[in-house]
Amino acid sequence: MKTMRYILIFFLGLTLLSCNNTKGKKSVSVKKHIPSTSQKNQKGVGLDSTQFSKNNLRSFEKGKVLTSKITENGLVIKWLKPTIKSNPLLKTGEVVLLEYRMALPDGKIIDGNNRLNMPFIPYMVGYNNQTKGWDLAMNHLRVGDFVKVEIPAMYAYGEKGLKGIIPPNTNNWLYIKVLAKVSPELNENGVKVWTFQKGISSALDLSKEKEVSYHAIVSSQNKALIMNSYRSRIALKYIPGQKNIVPGLRKVLNNAKKDQKMFVLISPEQAYGNKGYANLIQPNETLFFNLTIKDVRAI
């Protein structure tokens, strides 16, 4: 799935640390409290069940649905595991760790974190990381939830579908386990940073005499893929002191390290303020940057 691959390519090769299960906890640190694969499915039904061996989920939910609801947007959410009501509902601007499978109504699995050999993916809630249906579902979920979400075609791939994978006007079945919530390691002056790979330190860390090469996927609450440098396969460049990017991003890139991978959320005051930018960014809009630092070299 092309859109999904552009987003998930960010996570290839992540070196995340394992920790204790986060069941019942409100928030976790990105550095210390990411659940290990051996701990996630110790209890109850799980996505790694042998029932998935034939790559079909048509009958997976049979006998497992505890409760369900139809949202105002027409999504059908079915809980396959008791919800932890003491955990708050997910909010826009929070980062969570998800285990997921995507299927068609005939049960055929077409995507999942397992297909990238990853135990889970980080997900920024509310910023169009995926099709609209994902974000519409997230605000009904909590850490610990395991659900099936039936997403109407209009909130998935619509009339166009995805050639060779999803037919036009096809609903999507999304199975999600919300494993944990991740706290930003930096939350300062309108800039939040979640680092998922630390990168390589060097003598250039504190220097301004350097050039940073990076890839970025940029989105907002109102628009997906405002920019995606992966499409052109040409890395972006930044030299400390330049003002060709927004202030909040400059603050992050000034301290960037080679091979660093991070989520960055930048407030309007540190982005395009009350003016916005052309027809891409609305006034007073927060921006989400999915960053990979390709190189840092001396100049």
pLDDT in tens, 23-40: 444 344 444 344 433 334
pTM for this model (two decimals): 0.84
DSSP 90: P
The 10 Å Cβ neighbour count of residue 161 is 15
186 burial type by CB count under 10 A (0-12 exposed, 13-18 middle, 19+ buried): middle
Q: What is the mean pLDDT of residues 154-180?
A: 97
Domains located in the chain, CATH noted: 2-183 (3.10.50.40), 186-298 (3.10.50.40)
pLDDT in tens, 231-269: 999 999 999 999 999 999 999 999 999 999 999 999 999
In this structure, the chain runs to a length of 299
Nearest to 258 by CA among 192, 208, 209, 213: 213
Q: DSSP states of 146-199 as a string?
A: EEEEEE-GGGTTTTT-BTTTB-TT--EEEEEEEEEEEE-SEEETTEEEEEEE--
pLDDT for the residue 116: 85
Q: How far, in Å, CA of 179 to CA of 142, rounded? A: 9
